[in-house]
Each structure stands twice: as C-alpha cells, then as structure tokens.
Structure 1
Amino acid sequence: MNKKGHVLNAILLALGLGVILTIDPRTFEPTTDSAFLLVQKIGQLSLPVVLGALFPDVDTAFGKHRKTLHNLPVLIAFLVFPLVFDNLHFVWIGVATHYVLDMVGSKRGIALFYPLSPQEYDLPTGVATSSKYADAVTLLVTGAELGVLAGIHYYLFSLDVSLADAAASFTAIL
C-alpha cells in the first residue's frame, strides 16, 4: 500500500476506534457529554495510530523496505513498549494495521519473520499501489479491521485498558 493508503487507513481507524471505545451500542444515548467524550477519544487516538501506521515505512530510508521494520519482532516491541514505559498506547494498532494493508492490500507482501527469513508473505487479494482500486481496497481492509477490533472490544476484552489488564482478561476467558 502507498503512503496515502496508510494515512487514510490510520485516520479512519482513529475515528472508528474512537467510536468503538466511546459508544456502547447497547446502552448509547446521545448527549453533549457523549459527543465531547467521543471527540476527546478520537483526539487521543489519532496521533498514536497515525504514527504507528507510518512508522514501518521509515525503512525506506535505511535497511530493506518491507523487511527491516515490517516484521513480527517490531510489532512485538510496540506491544511490549507500553508495559515497560507506560506510554505509546495504541501505536501498536497503527503498526499492525500497516502490516495488514501491506499483506492484504498490495501485491508484494511483507517479511513477517525477518531477519530470520527474507520470505515475504501476502494474500492474493492485493492490488498494485498505483492501481485505481487501491483506495477501495484500503477502505475494505479498514472496515474489516474495525469489525475485528469491535468484536474484540465488545465480546472478548476492552481495548481501552492497559495491555497487562487485557492479557489478564484474556487469560481469564480461557
């Protein structure tokens, strides 16, 4: 996916995730306070999600693009970072969705297990980054990502808690 697609994905994710984390569809009643909370949540999510969505492409300036910063060790580092330093929450969502777009939305894929293996993984659903369908694919992938995040948030564990609390909730379910 191209930079425009990653930015579009990140902005839509911040908006959608703000709605998911603020509004419970079973009990929602629109008020001025709920609108303020929604705008506040979207504001809190926008910068970390957009930064996370753009970060993997920093490897175009050094290293090997779609290898150096497009792999599971980098994603794990962003998942663990908030546990150690108690900041950069939600950056991991931007990084993870960047990977999903590059695997599902483009023809090339990414090297998930780099530096152990240079093998690039993708799905046959991708389009060329210059394709006229790139934006449509970005919107479809973003909608699917928001559906998965909503399912996790509403049915498994709250995404609006620390990763340590989420892990504890998830292990309690199992």
Structure 2
Amino acid sequence: MNKRGHVLNAVLLSIGLGYVLDPSGDVSTFATIAEVFLPVVLGALFPDVDTAFGRHRKTLHNLPVLLVFVAHPIYHGGNLQWVWLGVLTHYVLDMFGSRRGIALFYPFWDEEFGFPSGVTTSSEYAEVVTVVITALELAGVAVLVYVLPQYLPPGITRLLAENTALIA
C-alpha cells in the first residue's frame, strides 16, 4: 500500500475506533477520536520510515518491531498505547492490500509474506481495498471490545471501564 492508503486507513480507523470505544456519539466520542487519532496515524506511518534507511518492508515491517510497540504501553502507559494499533494496521494493509507482502520474521528470515488479495500500490482499486480492509479491522476491534474483552490489554480495558459500561 502507498502512503496515501496508510493515511486513509489510519484516519478511518481512528474515527471508527472512537465510535467503537465510545459509541454515545456525543462530545466524549469526539474526545476519544482525538485521543487515538495522532498515535494511530503516527503508528500507521512509522513502518515506512525504513524507505529512508535499511530495507523497505523488512527493517521496520516485522514482528520484533511490532512487539516493541505492543510492549511499550505495558510499561509506560499513556497516549502511546495506540501507536501499536497503527503499526499493526500498517502491517495488515501491506499483507492483505498489497501484492508484495512484508518480511514478518526479518532479520531472522528474509521471505516476504502476503496474500493474493492485494493490488499494486498504483492500482485504481488501492483505495477501495484500503477501505474494505479498514472496515474488516474495525469489525475485528468491535468483536474484541464487545464479545471478547478478556483478551484486550489491561490499559484498554481500563479505558473502556472509565468511558463506558461495556466491561464489568
């Protein structure tokens, strides 16, 4: 996926995430959107920093990098707890939306993994694929929040408990 697709994904994901986490539709929903917006967008753009150094879709497009972003909020909390989601959605978009895929196990293994569902980054269907994948990502988040909340990280569970009555 190209930069425009990653930005579109992050913006739509932030708006949708705001409504999933706080479905009231009032000012608190917009506050939730504002809270998640910048970290998700930064996370969604971060993996492509490897175009300036290293090997693109390898150096910053792998599970060890994602684990660093997932572990950070466990130890430090704060608003950066949403950066991992942006990084994860970047990976999902590159794996499912692009023909090339990513090197999930780099630096241990150079092979790139992807799915045949993707399109080239210059395809006229790239934005449609991005929107479809974003909708599926939001559906996955909604299932976690409403059906399987016990599998959410503790920080997100606390946020939900503070903002909604979804988590007992």
TM-score (norm 1): 0.86
Quote how far apart the aligned CAs of 1:37 are. Answer: 0.2
- Cα RMSD of the aligned pairs, angstroms, is 1.8
Looking at structure 1, the residues matched to 157 and 14 of structure 2 have their Cα atoms a distance apart, in angstroms, of: 22
Cα distance between partner residues in 2 of 1:63 and 1:137? 28
5+ residue gaps, structure 2, are: 160-168
- The residue number in structure 1 matching 2:155 is 162
Alignment of 1:15-54 (within 5 A): 15-23=15-23, 35-54=26-45
Q: Structure 2 matches for 1:124-163, cutoff 5 A?
A: 124-157=116-149, 161-162=154-155
Q: Which of the residues 104, 107, 118 maps onto 1:115?
A: 107
134-143 or 77-86, larger mean C-alpha shift: 77-86
Work out whether residues 110 and 122 of structure 1, in 8 Å CA contact, stay in contact via their aligned partners in 2.
Answer: yes
CA contact (8 A) 1:6 1:54 kept: yes
Question: Which residue in 1 is equivalent to 2:166?
Answer: none
The residue that corresponds to 1:93 in the other structure is 85
Structure-2 residue corresponding to 1:62 = 53
Structure 1 regions of 5+ residues with no counterpart? 29-33, 167-174
- Residue of structure 2 equivalent to 1:74: 65
* Partner residue, 2:6: 6
Percent identical: 55
CA separation in 2, counterparts of 1:165 and 1:10?
23
CA distance in 2, matches of 1:144, 1:67: 25
Q: Which has the larger radius of gyration?
A: 1
Q: Deviations over 1:14-53 (max 9, x none)?
A: 0000000001xxxx5xxxxx51101100000100000000
TM-score (norm 2): 0.89
Counterpart of 1:171 in structure 2 is none
Residue pair 2:3, 2:45 contacting (<8 A) in 1 also: yes
For residues 145 and 13 of structure 1, the distance between their equivalents in structure 2, rounded to whole angstroms, comes to: 8
